Amino acid sequence: METAIQALRPGYLKEGTPVQVLSNFFLFTPKHHSTSLQRYSISFIPEISFSLSRQRERILNKSRAQIIEHIGRFVFANTILFSAQTSSEFVVESLYENVIYKITIVPTGALTNPLEIKHFYNKFFNSVQSMLKLVMIGRKFYNPDRPVELPHHKMVIWPGYANSVGYYEEGCLLNVDISHRCLRTITVYDQIVDIKRRNPSDCKQMISKLLVGSTVLTLYNKKCYKVDEIDWDMSPSSSFEKEGISTDFKKYYTTRWGREIKYEDQPLLKCKLKNLICYLLPEFCVMTGLTDEIRSDFNVMKDLAQATKKEPKARLNESAGLIKTLQTFPKTRDEIKDWQLEISSDPISLTARVISAGNIIMGDNASFRINEAIGSFDRDIQRKMYTQPKLDRWGIFHCENDKKLVEQNLMTNLVQVMKTYCVACDKPATFIVASDKWGDWDRILRQSLNPSVKIIICVLPGSKGKCRLYDDLKRLTFSSFPVPTQVILNSTLKKDKGLRSVINKVVMQMNAKVGGIPWALDNLPFSNTVCMVIGIDIFTKRGSSGVLGFCATMDPHYARYGSFPKVINPGGDVFTRIQECTEQALQQFFNENRRFPKVIIVFRDGVSDSQRSSVLTDEVGAIKQAFTSLQGIVPNFEKPSLLYVVVNKRTNARFYCDNNGNTTNPPLGTIVDSKVVEKTGYDFYVMPAKANQGSMTPTHFHVVYDDSDLPCDNVEILAYKMCYSYYNWSGSIRVPAPCQYAHKLAYNYGERSDKNGPPQPHAHWTNSRALYFL
């Protein structure tokens, strides 16, 4: 397989209007360039596993004063120490829990590698923050002394910070953003008791659903653990061995933490920490984070948003406020001074550029300009769509109880909306299902569906997130009867307010599902050449097979898609699947255009920073291998140029405009590709979606591979403009549409997993040009 080389920045964006912005990045530099950092390896006798980093740190702290005599102040990083002083090898002893440990510290040279220096700075900054008595949860720090109480929801919010140090064009920078952590004010034991009271028959299943995979915080030491399993056979009276001595949990918590256990009737929470297993007591834990149940509660989310979504000025001030605190608090100020470091309190200022989103093209060549001030165009698209096939064989399925709702609410609005959008359609056939049991629905659907049916509307009983029949319906039509389905819940039809707007969106989705194009974008980059844009995402679910979502454009407007879902069995080869999808997409592109693309742009979602190198070597290699395979099959096949772009929505970078002291969000279409980007890479930030509340969150793009020799304007503008072509939303979203389609495709199959895994995609869908999974 050909080795892919990391892309380098070919220049800077030239198009657009310049705008000055502030960022939440701050200079983080040594005061004296001659300052060198030293590295020391560390070993313990008796030996302590690398996975027990907290225990290693506790033992080391017992001998901190002895170590400082040799090398001065130091930063501990599990297997190594960092210091600004040189020393020869030395040994210290530490007494911990009646065991004497011999600690050998050996110098291994000065830090010269930028990655090692970056690693030190991040460890150093973490250690400095811990001096402020902030609690580390994951990689973020939170302040339990400034809680925001939400008593009606039995929750509390801890404010905090997300920080990282890295090397950028501007130099070594500290990125500081604010963060919030939601915790329950009732214990996990209280939640278990409540579930048992409400669901006595299947309480164990409900408790497991709530807790397994969640994160809990222990009240006695403020540490976080991920729950892997609930051990129903264990209780506080269960015994275990610690350092060869048998004890039980009641004694352990009394002697180690001074806690008396009140309840005997509680199972234990099992957590796997690398090669170590620990057990937690529910009465000493509280859940953190948000569950699906909380996210679906409008009132809870509204109150959470008011507490956490800070306006731009407040957010930037809080970021800068952490640095001011570090510079004024005596202990942290002295630590920073002793290490001869300097942290600027002024945020980095830079010049960004604002790109116009351009025009939307509708049917009969009508068009309108996107209003970037509001970021959406609900009203503008209420006209004939760009392309819309005739609906000549379609139907509506509903329960007997919903007959009146369908006739009066659904059909009345459907007729009006079809006229507004000028949709040519026959009258739909209607099918009444005797009950809301899946057996009745399954029987009627199997009797009625055949490949000539364009689409069906299913009015299902239930409310959002609580529809029992939805998963069964999707499994059936994804794998056995490949007919597009549009689901409308009967609870939606019961609402008079906003129903017309809902039906507008339904008709638009239906058009996309049957192969139509609701709207197209004008003047897209690469339109002067033959180009294909691909979106890739992978859905994974605990205990089930993964699903690869692969969507590729087949037309000059990047509006018609070939969709290629692939189930990936546990331990399966993702890269082989990517190669297969690429070959299929290229063959279909040729079948429809009688030529192959000259340029391919891939937008890859769901990749963390640590995974980018494997994407470059493996996934880029898989696509290039597809090119090689086609060369052996297709005469005169020319390899297209390839740009492989990783899309990251989870970024702590923020950008602000300062208008005479009034800090605001930047305009939509603001692109940042200088100063706070990688020094040797090729990355940029785009502000693609409006923030209705609080501060705007940018999307971070990394071009990991580029052999096109094209200026960066092409891919940066394309990344922004394609955020306007996702047909589930009449406006801009945070990622390019192919990315979101790939995510939706993989999610729809993966989330429908049962004991047999995800539904196997029907062969018909591979040859379909419709976004049937929306």
Confidence band, pLDDT 50/70/90 cuts, at residue 2: low
| CA pair distance 458, 698, nearest whole angstrom | 37
Long-range contacts of 260-267 (CB under 8 A, 24+ apart): 261/236, 263/189, 263/236, 264/235, 264/236, 264/237, 265/235, 266/189, 266/192, 266/235, 266/236, 267/192, 267/230, 267/231, 267/232, 267/233, 267/234, 267/235
| CA pair distance 664, 694, nearest whole angstrom | 10
Collapsing DSSP to helix, strand or coil, 272 comes out as: strand
**Domain map of the chain by residue range?**
38-110, 186-305, 388-513, 529-754
> What separation, in Å, do the N-terminal and C-terminal C-alpha atoms of the chain show?
36
- pLDDT for res 34: 55
- pLDDT for res 243: 66
Average pLDDT, rounded, for the chain: 90
Could you read off the pLDDT of 299-353 as tens digits, one per residue? 888 888 888 888 999 999 999 999 999 999 999 999 898 888 889 999 999 999 9
Question: Angle 429-431-432 (CA atoms, 0-180°, nearest 5)?
Answer: 150
- pLDDT for res 3: 67
**What are the structure tokens assigned to 526, written together?**
């690469």
Could you tell me which residue, 312 or 30, shows the higher pLDDT?
A: 312
For 445, the enclosing helix (H) or strand (E) is helix 438-448
- pLDDT for res 277: 85
List residues bridging with 269 in a β-sheet: 230, 280
- Range in 338-342, 451-455, 541-545 the model is least confident about: 541-545
Question: From residue 669, how far is each of 18, 381, 417, 725, 734 by CA, in Å?
Answer: 11, 21, 32, 15, 11
| CA pair distance 652, 25, nearest whole angstrom | 10
| CA pair distance 32, 546, nearest whole angstrom | 51
- pLDDT for res 442: 93
- Lateral strand order in the sheet of 268-273: 229-231, 268-273, 276-280
Q: Which residues contact 571 (CB under 8 A, 6 or more apart)?
A: none
Pick the CATH number of 529-754 from 3.40.50.150, 3.90.1150.10, 3.40.640.10, 3.30.420.10: 3.30.420.10
Fold match flag (186-305 vs 529-754):
no
| CA pair distance 174, 164, nearest whole angstrom | 6
Question: From residue 308, how far is each of 160, 246, 305 by CA, in Å?
Answer: 11, 46, 5
Looking at residue 743, its amino acid is H
The 3 state secondary structure assigned to 602-669 is: EEEECCCHHHHHHHHHHHHHHHHHHHHHHHCCCCCCCCCEEEEEEEECCCCCCEEEEECCEEECCCCC
Classify domain 388-513 by CATH number: 3.40.50.2300
- Contact (CB, 8 A) for 682 and 702: yes
DSSP class per residue in 305-366: HHHH---HHHHHHHHHHHHHHHHHSHHHHHHHHHTTEEE-SSPPEEEEEE----EEE-GGG-
Q: Which residues contact 498 (CB under 8 A, 6 or more apart)?
A: none
Confidence band, pLDDT 50/70/90 cuts, at residue 173: very high
Mean pLDDT, residues 583-587: 95
pLDDT of 33 above 70: no
DSSP assignment, residue 504?
A: H
- Contact (CB, 8 A) for 142 and 217: no
Could you read off the pLDDT of 655-690 as tens digits, one per residue? 999 888 789 999 999 999 999 999 889 999 999 998
Collapsing DSSP to helix, strand or coil, 301 comes out as: helix
pLDDT of 643 above 60: yes
Could you read off the pLDDT of 253-300 as tens digits, one per residue? 888 888 999 998 899 999 987 767 889 999 999 999 887 778 878 888
Phi and psi (nearest 5°) for 143? -105, 105
Could you read off the pLDDT of 364-414 as tens digits, one per residue? 999 999 988 888 898 999 999 999 999 999 999 999 999 999 999 999 999
Could you read off the pLDDT of 107-154 as tens digits, one per residue? 999 888 888 888 888 989 988 998 998 888 888 999 988 899 998 888
- pLDDT for res 465: 66
| CA pair distance 479, 474, nearest whole angstrom | 8
Q: Smallest Cα–Cα separation from 382: which of 428, 409, 416?
A: 416
Question: Angle 659-662-664 (CA atoms, 0-180°, nearest 5)?
Answer: 80
CATH architecture of 186-305: Beta Complex (2.170)
- Range in 79-83, 493-497, 719-723 the model is least confident about: 493-497
- pLDDT for res 550: 96
| CA pair distance 356, 581, nearest whole angstrom | 33
- pLDDT for res 564: 94
From the number of C-beta atoms within 10 Å of its C-beta (0-12, 13-18, 19+), residue 281 rates as: buried
- 359 sits in the region (left: phi over 0; alpha: psi -120 to 50; else beta) called beta
Residue with the two structure tokens 């264990």: 234
Q: Where are the alpha helices (DSSP H) in 212-340?
A: 249-257, 292-295, 298-308, 312-328, 330-338
Could you read off the pLDDT of 73-106 as tens digits, one per residue? 899 988 899 998 889 999 999 988 788 999 999 9
| CA pair distance 232, 51, nearest whole angstrom | 27
Q: How far is CA 551 from the centre of its chain?
A: 19
Phi and psi (nearest 5°) for 251? -65, -40
Q: Smallest Cα–Cα separation from 751: which of 333, 449, 432, 472?
A: 472
pLDDT of 598 above 60: yes
- pLDDT for res 302: 86
Q: Smallest Cα–Cα separation from 373: which of 69, 635, 692?
A: 692
| CA pair distance 685, 647, nearest whole angstrom | 10
| CA pair distance 695, 75, nearest whole angstrom | 35
